[in-house]
């Protein structure tokens, strides 16, 4: 049974029927899609691993992110706070300590590097006293001072403001995923306290971002991965208990400042979508179409009136192993299916394009998205 929505859905006062009479700006195009109005073309977003950025710069003879985004037709611009993961003194270290206390180690793979988690500070520490004793960051460690100027310099695009990750995601890094799942099953008061503690810091950071540095931001973004390829990592009942309260609060804060709320959750998130919708979420990323239950037509049918879908182009097979014809075909199919009547922003189906994606496939994806007219 569906619950009533906990917060009033975001609506844009800046979208009107007059916009369809002329070519839209990137900002207008994205806001129209979020408001479930058909834009002049499907809006486009982009993000990738640093090695992919470097390869595209070299291939295209470009040297700025702005020039790359212009070439690809990208309609969005994301801003991250300073100290988002690490303070500046950690930048050049092989093993880094995050602002939340977990540690990562720079690990090489074919073509690039990742920061792999190597230490969870609350792993094996199973009492409420351990949570209270942890060195939690003050919310003001996140530096939003550059947001207003950066948003103004990219005002032609839809500006996405990031505050921090979701409380569940942070808890999985501080506690360790295995221990956190046992907490959900056996130490539920511990899980309540852990997630509530982190959620309060997240809410304070978001309020600070929007109250003092929110001018020019159109969309609030939060990553909070609950799922595997096959389904949620925990039960819908646990999602309602541990996640819905802070998710609802964060969405309400964003709506209070007239910002749309974009939630990132990889994998097979469909079983949780009724509660995500009821929490007031406006946009869902990344639409991992090969995950269980994530068929685009079914998602559009069941959740299209409530959610703007964001992403969708498959990184597991199509973009990295497919032909340019297959890439173009998938882009067109997604635009026809998810973009009908608005409510879709096309981009990579796992947020960051990986180094195994051939450049010709990446360019085909974006060239097709810029030129394709739905239904043709």
From the CB of residue 185, how many other CB atoms can be counted at a distance below 10 Å? 11
What pLDDT, in 10s, does the model give residues 305-360?
Answer: 999 999 999 999 999 999 999 999 999 999 999 999 999 999 999 989 999 999 99
Residue 245 has pLDDT above 60, yes or no: yes
- 13: which 2 tokens? 């006062």
- Give the other-Cβ count within 10 Å of 75's Cβ: 28
E strand or H helix at 329: helix 324-338
Helix intervals (H) in 10-166: 26-34, 50-60, 65-72, 128-133, 147-153
Cβ distance 122 to 131 under 8 Å? yes
Residues 204 and 194: their CA atoms lie apart, in Å, by 16
pLDDT tens by residue, 133-150: 999 999 999 999 999 999
Model pLDDT for residues 146-190, shown as the tens digit of each residue? 999 999 999 999 999 999 999 999 999 999 999 999 999 999 999
Buried-state track 31-55, b at ≥16 Cβ within 10 A, e below 16: bbbbbbbbbebbbbbbbbbeebbeb
49 pLDDT more than 50: yes
pLDDT tens sequence across 288-305: 999 999 999 999 999 999
What is the rounded CA–CA span in Å between residue 174 and residue 114? Answer: 18
Rounded distance between C-alpha atoms, residue 20 and residue 269, angstroms: 33
Say what percent of the chain tops pLDDT 90. Answer: 91
CA–CA distance from 67 to each of 64, 115, 321 (Å)? 5, 28, 27
Q: Provide the terminal-to-terminal Cα distance of the chain, rounded to the nearest Å.
A: 39
Domain topology for 26-84+126-371: TIM Barrel (3.20.20)
Q: Is the pLDDT of residue 231 over 50?
A: yes
d(CA 307, CA 277): 7
Can you tell me the mean pLDDT for 201-210? 98
Please state the domain extents for the chain. Answer: 26-84+126-371
DSSP 248-305: HHHHHHHHHTT-EEEEE--S--GGGHHHHHHTT--EEE---TTSTT--HHHHHHHHTT
Q: Which two tokens stand for residue 242?
A: 């541990």
Can you tell me the mean pLDDT for 108-124?
95
pLDDT value of position 375: 64
* Amino acid 11: pLDDT: 63
| Cα 11 to Cα 24, 53, 167, 259, distances in angstroms | 18, 33, 26, 9
pLDDT tens per residue across span 3-48: 334 545 556 655 544 344 578 999 999 999 999 999 999 999 999 9
Tell me, what's the pLDDT at 3? Answer: 34
In this structure, the number of other CB atoms found within 10 A of the CB of residue 109 comes to: 10
pLDDT tens for each residue of 79-115: 999 999 999 999 999 999 999 999 999 999 988 999 9
Name the pTM for this structure: 0.95
Per-residue pLDDT at 19: 46
């Amino acid at each position: 049974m569906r619950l009533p929505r906990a917060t009033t859905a975001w609506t844009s006062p800046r979208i009107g029927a007059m916009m369809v009479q002329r070519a839209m700006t990137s900002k207008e195009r994205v806001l129209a899609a979020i408001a479930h109005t058909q834009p002049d073309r499907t809006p486009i977003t982009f993000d990738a691993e640093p090695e992919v950025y470097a390869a595209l710069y070299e291939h295209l003879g470009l040297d700025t992110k702005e020039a790359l985004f212009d070439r690809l037709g990208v309609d969005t611009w994301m801003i991250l706070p300073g100290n988002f993961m690490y303070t500046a003194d950690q930048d050049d270290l092989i093993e880094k300590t995050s602002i939340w206390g977990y540690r990562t180690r720079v690990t090489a793979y074919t073509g690039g590097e990742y920061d792999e988690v190597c230490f969870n500070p609350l792993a094996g520490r199973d009492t409420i006293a351990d949570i209270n004793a942890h060195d939690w960051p003050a919310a003001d460690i996140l530096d939003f001072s550059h947001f207003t100027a950066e948003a103004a310099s990219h005002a032609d695009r839809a500006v996405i403001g990031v505050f921090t990750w979701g409380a569940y995601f942070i808890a999985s890094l501080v506690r360790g995923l295995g221990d956190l799942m046992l907490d959900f099953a056996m130490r539920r008061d511990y899980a309540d306290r852990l997630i509530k503690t982190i959620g309060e810091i997240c809410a304070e950071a978001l309020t600070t971002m929007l109250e003092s540095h929110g001018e020019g931001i159109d969309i609030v973004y939060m990553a909070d991965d609950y799922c595997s390829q096959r389904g949620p990592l925990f039960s819908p009942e646990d999602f309602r208990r541990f996640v819905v309260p802070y998710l609802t609060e964060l969405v309400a804060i964003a709506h209070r400042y007239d910002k749309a709320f974009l939630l990132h959750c990889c994998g097979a998130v469909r079983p949780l979508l009724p509660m995500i919708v009821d929490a007031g979420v406006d946009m869902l990323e990344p639409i991992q179409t090969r995950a269980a239950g994530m068929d685009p037509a079914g998602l559009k049918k069941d959740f299209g009136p409530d959610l703007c879908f964001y992403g969708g182009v498959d990184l597991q097979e199509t973009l990295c192993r497919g032909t340019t014809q297959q890439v173009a075909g998938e882009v067109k199919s997604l635009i026809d299916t998810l973009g009908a009547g608005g409510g879709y922003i096309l981009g990579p189906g796992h947020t960051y394009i990986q180094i195994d994606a051939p450049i010709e496939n990446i360019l085909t994806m974006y060239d097709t998205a810029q030129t394709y007219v739905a239904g043709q």
